[in-house]
Amino acid sequence: MVKDTVTIRNNKTGKEVDLPLEYGTVGTPAVDIGSLNKEIGTFTFDQGFMSTASCKSAITYIDGDKGVLLYRGYPIEQLAKNSSFLEVVYLLMNGELPRENELFSFASEIKQHSMIHEALRVFFNGFHYDAHPMSMMVGVMGSLSAFYHSELDMNDPEHRRISAMRMVAKVPTIAAASHRHSVGWPFIYPRLDLDYCENFMNMMFSLPGQQYIDENNYIDPVAVKALNLLFILHADHEQNASTSTVRLASSTGANPYACVAAGISALWGPAHGGANEAVLSMLAEIGTVDRIPEFIAKAKDKNDPFRLMGFGHRVYKNFDPRATITRETCYEVLEKFPSDDPLFDLMLALEEFALKDEYFIEKKLYPNVDFYSGIIYKALKIPEDMFTVMFVIARTAGWVSHWLEMMSEPSQRIGRPRQIYTGYDVRDYKPVLDR
């Protein structure tokens, strides 16, 4: 069969090359440009990866125009309605939904790995009391490799599986410990009788002596349901900046804990995982409903770097399907945990204002998932500096799944982009007194 090709011609040299088109199961095909430099001496330039597929992957599919998000083929709406977070983690890691006994063993194994080494617990004492929890997440996740060095043979599938399980199991424990260190509370060990989200809420909020108080005070079913949903929605999002970072770091053969720590660092930025925290800071800065027009005008002003946080998305250009689901949950949570915090009213007013504004309509800038997730976390009493950490807990599932997928491919190559050099051409060194 003749392969579809795209012809590229270098007009300067007259050299031409036929490049094959690669098709996935669904979605936009890609030109395989691997031989371009060799054939016609040309690189491609695509700042921000606007038109570049960096890998082949069978995990997650997004159609940004239609607002479609599939994990292993299953629509996000169906998983959000019917699944638990751990079922989704199993699906992402293994490719299929688990049978009942498989899910039971998977959840039990995750529980068994949920403790962190006592020496690692003490590690937190080295952090200053006001360290941002994300800085502790980066450091502690990276340091896990020091504890599991004997199981880091990346050619051994069982070593890879155990490493992935450990990261998913320990990330809520590390996250809760980061919070408790910053407020000076004693660490709470994971409990085997609680499920993944309940356990996290318990490790975050329970206090010594509180076994005499109704535990529904801090493990509320509506809160746990909302958390389960947000973790599912944030579990994976194909080759986003942090996942691409994990993949690039992994391509060097670095250990998975270090690679996931690199992913956590990339997620920290306000244009990515830091957006939900940035939404709350922005609402605080706006302050009152009557100042919304002023900030909308700032967001539209090309000479002002201000952007409306929680609006717009690189891939979703009509709507973010996760935002539609989160919006519903946001209203449910606000009903269960009513608050007189003016930020909630401000958020609703800003949403309404921006959705009617010509600039936002024309540029297809809709609220993204993080516009609502920050509000939900705030209503659940999760501190603002923990919002991105919540994202880390969920996205660890995606990072380890991409890492497992990548490591199982025999034809791995180190990721090494090229550049267009814009510095000086060769020039001679001058002694310091002659400069």
> How far apart, in whole angstroms, are the C-alpha atoms of residue 118 and residue 128?
19
- Please, what is the minimum distance in Å from the beta carbon of residue 309 to ligand ACO? 5
Output Rg (C-alpha) for the chain, integer angstroms.
24
For the beta carbon of residue 141, count every other beta carbon within 10 angstroms: 26
Rule CB under 6 A: choose which of 275, 283, 323, 375 binds ligand ACO: 275
Query: Hey, which bits of 30-72 come out as E strands?
Result: 30-31, 60-63, 68-71
Reported as type and span, the H/E element at residue 394 is helix 387-407
One-letter amino acid at 47 equals Q
For the beta carbon of residue 186, count every other beta carbon within 10 angstroms: 8
370 is catalytic: yes
| Part in contact with ligand ACO (CB under 6 A); list of ranges 90-98, 111-119, 173-181, 301-309 | 301-309
Q: Which is nearer to ligand ACO, 205 or 372 (by Cβ)? A: 372
One-letter amino acid at 138 equals V
SS3 30: strand
| Part in contact with ligand ACO (CB under 6 A); list of ranges 136-144, 210-218, 326-334, 360-368 | 360-368
Q: Which is nearer to ligand ACO, 45 or 212 (by Cβ)? A: 45
Rule CB under 6 A: choose which of 139, 142, 172, 310 binds ligand ACO: 310
- Please, what is the minimum distance in Å from the beta carbon of residue 320 to ligand ACO? 7
Residues binding ligand ACO: what is the number (CB under 6 A)? 17
Q: Does 298 bind ligand ACO (CB under 6 A)?
A: no
- Please, what is the minimum distance in Å from the beta carbon of residue 10 to ligand ACO? 29
For the beta carbon of residue 400, count every other beta carbon within 10 angstroms: 27
- Please, what is the minimum distance in Å from the beta carbon of residue 113 to ligand ACO? 27
CA distances (Å), 102 to each of 114, 196, 349, in order? Answer: 18, 16, 46
Q: Does 239 bind ligand ACO (CB under 6 A)?
A: no
Q: Which is nearer to ligand ACO, 357 or 405 (by Cβ)? A: 357
Give the pair of three-digit tokens for residue 176: 């809760």
| Part in contact with ligand ACO (CB under 6 A); list of ranges 216-224, 324-332, 363-371, 405-413 | 363-371
Reported as type and span, the H/E element at residue 108 is helix 100-112
> How far apart, in whole angstroms, are the C-alpha atoms of residue 403 and residue 245?
11
String of contacts with ligand ACO for each residue 255-274, x by CB under 6 A: ----------------xx--
> How far apart, in whole angstroms, are the C-alpha atoms of residue 152 and residue 257?
10
Rule CB under 6 A: choose which of 264, 369, 382, 407 binds ligand ACO: 369
- Please, what is the minimum distance in Å from the beta carbon of residue 286 to ligand ACO? 13
> How far apart, in whole angstroms, are the C-alpha atoms of residue 401 and residue 404?
5
Q: Which of residues 312-331 bind ligand ACO (CB under 6 A)?
A: 312-314
> Using CB under 6 A as the criterion, which residues of the chain lie in contact with ligand ACO when the complex forms?
271-272, 275, 299, 307-314, 363, 365, 368-370
